[in-house]
Amino acid sequence: MNSKLTIIFVLALYFISCKTEGDQPEASSILLFNGKIWTGDDNQPWASWIHIEGERIVEIGGDEDDVPEETNEIDLQGRLTVPGFNDSHVHFQSAGALLLGINLLDVNDPVGLISEVKGATERLPEGSWITRGDWGAYEAWGVGSDGSSRENTIFTPHRSMIDSITTDHPVLINRYDRTEGLANGLALKELGIESETGILTGEVFLDALKQVPEKSFERRVAESRRALAECRKYGVTTVQDMSALDQVDVYNAIRADGDLTCRINFAPSRLIEFSNMAEKDWIISRDEYGNATTAGDDWISFGTIKSHIDGIMGARTARFFQPYSDNILENANWRGGWREFSEDMPNFKKMILATDSADIQLRIHAIGDQANSILLDILDTLEIINGPKDRRFRLVHAQVIAPEDFSRFEGRNIIAEVQPYHVTDDMRWMEERIGYERCKGAYAFKTLEDYGCILSFGSDWPGTNASYYPINPLMGLYAAVTRQTINGEPEEGWFPEQKIDLEKALKAYTWGGAFGAFEEERKGVIEVGKLGDITVLDTDLFNTEPDEWLDANVDFTIVGGKVVYDRLQQE
Ligand SMILES: [Zn+2]
């Protein structure tokens, strides 16, 4: 095979297999009536019934229109109904692993540890390893973002706490900072390590991690099935996934069983392939790749490559023009795991150019103001070299924008792939990190919108080893509209001039995601011809206070005309 085409073939093979393997079960037809339906379509924003045949919407009507005859029907009983939520940024593989495995972020005592470990043993078949966990994270967070006194307050577990409940499962879990692990008796035996406490540190811990057997394909499928259940529960009908490329095999397996209940827009981030590509001057031409932006089909699609240009705020690895306010020595280096790659700007730029030349959409992580600014410079260059086109350049996070850069968004259909819930989570220490002035450009959803930037909302589920970001879109809507913590702080909202209204927020969580992924022809609004992806809520967001949204439920999730979640049936 011509090495130049390797990546294209790899991707093409995945999508050929997507198309040939079993399809989702055919939905026949369904009528949803007596609803308060927010369509997201500016020409007909409200409706009261929707008729879906097969996977697509065939008719929509208001109170004044005759409701069609249909045997399969759901009485919405006046409930608010919206286009299915499109979460434009998730890490599906990690989310599934956390849900089926163990999440110890908020655990900092023996009682919590025992109960979580017990839960994991009940979910996982005998012999499966229980790994990760990240205990003590929230405790560390509570102590202070600089981490000064963490070590004193994070509890140290002991294998005796879990040995008796884990006789069938080897356990190797770790503290939030991943410098210390706890192994149970069974794991120690399998690893050939002697330890009375089970606490492993340094080289011993790192070696132990390397010895943990790789997850079986079945386990990975089970994890993703667990994550799909979470999507159904929260009315998410499309996720845009940043998992590693081999996750597509998992999706194909679930799809072959007819159980894929959420559409996947896949954004692999393969820096290795790309740095090789750039090094070897692999420039993919449009003809060779075809219409990259719409590869795949309605269920599994592909159109973007994800990359990074800086790090994150929490670790002070985000790139700013000026030093961090609480540490004047740090802003001068590109840091983090991707340092090597992004330090090499010529190579990075080559990769960008190759991708853009092939009509593959770019989706690049940028947090600091300088990182965002450099990406706008790169966009300028692309427009000069490859000419103007509908490229929908995506800034992933677009977290802090320098005041002079906002006007550069005008008229360019730039997509801000933002996670409103981050606002509520980060605001506690943003000002300490970067100061009041720079915070004016942080999560500046209103200003970005005003300059014509397209907001595409998502969650970044499941988050990091410092915080769990739930997939629940209602939390994102709450954050965008209030800019408050879930406890309602501060009273007016954090930089309240950046609040957006509910309708705009809903649009960013539905149409924005679809448009951002070149999928607005298929989904994103409730309109004749679009896929029948619909979410029914038990709470009318338009007539309730945002704090009530946090407890609201999804009653029905419908994907392609098929009810995949019915809350009352579940209970
Ligand atoms: Zn992410």
Say if residue 458's pLDDT is above 70.
Answer: yes
Give the integer Cα–Cα distance in Å for 118 and 168: 11
pLDDT band at 343 (very low <50, low <70, confident <90, very high): low
Section 139-155 average pLDDT: 57
Q: What DSSP string runs through 374-424?
A: HHHHHHHHHHHHT-S-----EEES--B--GGGGGGGTTS--EEEE-THHHH
Residue with the two structure tokens 């393997």: 21
pLDDT score, position 43: 93
Structure tokens at 32: 């949803």
Which has more pLDDT, 471 or 333? 471
Say if residue 389's pLDDT is above 80.
Answer: yes
Alpha-carbon torsion 171, 175, 179, 182, what sign? negative
pLDDT score, position 440: 96
Give the integer Cα–Cα distance in Å for 180 and 30: 54
Give the integer Cα–Cα distance in Å for 557 and 561: 10
Say if residue 352's pLDDT is above 60.
Answer: yes
Q: How far is the CA of 563 from the centre of ligand 1 (A)?
A: 29
Read off the amino acid at residue 135: W
pLDDT score, position 329: 60
Section 104-130 average pLDDT: 94
- CA-angle at 264, arms to 339 and 413, nearest 5°: 65
Q: Could you tell me if 458 and 90 are in contact, meaning their C-beta atoms sit under 8 angstroms apart?
A: yes
Q: Could you tell me if 313 and 433 are in contact, meaning their C-beta atoms sit under 8 angstroms apart?
A: yes
Q: At a CB cut-off of 8 Å and minimum separation 6, what does 515 contact? A: 392, 415, 454, 456, 524
pLDDT score, position 271: 45
C-alpha to C-alpha distances, 536 to 156, 319, 567, nearest whole angstrom:
45, 41, 10
Section 412-431 average pLDDT: 90
Residue with the two structure tokens 């998502």: 458
Section 252-281 average pLDDT: 72
Alpha helices in 212-267 (DSSP H): 217-233, 247-256
Nearest to 526 by CA among 87, 86, 74, 72: 86
Q: How far is the CA of 234 from the centre of ligand 1 (A)?
A: 19
- DSSP letter for 223, please: H
Section 52-58 average pLDDT: 96
pLDDT score, position 318: 83
Q: How far is the CA of 391 from the centre of ligand 1 (A)?
A: 21
Best mean pLDDT range from 104-113, 250-259, 485-494, 550-559 = 550-559
Q: How far is the CA of 90 from the centre of ligand 1 (A)?
A: 6
Section 206-215 average pLDDT: 94
Q: How far is the CA of 419 from the centre of ligand 1 (A)?
A: 9
Structure tokens at 459: 């969650």
pTM (2 decimals)? 0.88
Nearest to 508 by CA among 555, 459, 548, 544: 459
Which has more pLDDT, 537 or 429? 537
Give the integer Cα–Cα distance in Å for 361 and 521: 17
Q: At a CB cut-off of 8 Å and minimum separation 6, what does 361 contact? A: 292, 293, 303, 304, 305, 391, 392, 393, 394, 517, 518
- DSSP letter for 467, please: -
Say if residue 149's pLDDT is above 60.
Answer: no
Which has more pLDDT, 169 or 271? 169
Q: How far is the CA of 74 from the centre of ligand 1 (A)?
A: 36
Q: How far is the CA of 239 from the centre of ligand 1 (A)?
A: 12
Torsion, Cα of 254, 218, 96, 108 (10° steps): 160
Say if residue 250's pLDDT is above 50.
Answer: yes
Nearest to 451 by CA among 483, 420, 408, 506: 408
Which has more pLDDT, 502 or 28? 502
Q: Could you tell me if 96 and 224 are in contact, meaning their C-beta atoms sit under 8 angstroms apart?
A: yes
Which has more pLDDT, 478 or 324? 478
pLDDT score, position 232: 98
Structure tokens at 40: 């997201």
Q: How far is the CA of 369 from the centre of ligand 1 (A)?
A: 18
When the pLDDT of each residue in the chain is averaged and rounded to a whole number, the result is 86
Which has more pLDDT, 170 or 150? 170
Please state the three-class secondary structure of 301-359 as a single string. Answer: EECEEEEECCCCCCCCCCCCCCCECCECCCCCCCCCCCHHHHHCHHHHHHHHHHHHHCC
pLDDT band at 261 (very low <50, low <70, confident <90, very high): very high
C-alpha to C-alpha distances, 521 to 360, 524, 535, nearest whole angstrom:
18, 8, 19
Give the integer Cα–Cα distance in Å for 335 and 150: 23
Say if residue 275's pLDDT is above 90.
Answer: no
Q: At a CB cut-off of 8 Å and minimum separation 6, what does 160 contact? A: 198
Interval 353-362: pLDDT, tens:
878 887 778 9
Section 411-427 average pLDDT: 92
Q: At a CB cut-off of 8 Å and minimum separation 6, what does 308 contact? A: 269, 271, 336, 338, 341, 342, 364, 365
Nearest to 231 by CA among 530, 570, 552, 559: 559
Q: How far is the CA of 420 from the centre of ligand 1 (A)?
A: 13
Q: Which of 154-163, 169-178, 336-345 has the lowest mean pLDDT?
A: 336-345
Q: How far is the CA of 127 from the centre of ligand 1 (A)?
A: 31
pLDDT band at 281 (very low <50, low <70, confident <90, very high): very low
Give the integer Cα–Cα distance in Å for 174 and 253: 31
Q: How far is the CA of 511 from the centre of ligand 1 (A)?
A: 20
Say if residue 225's pLDDT is above 90.
Answer: yes
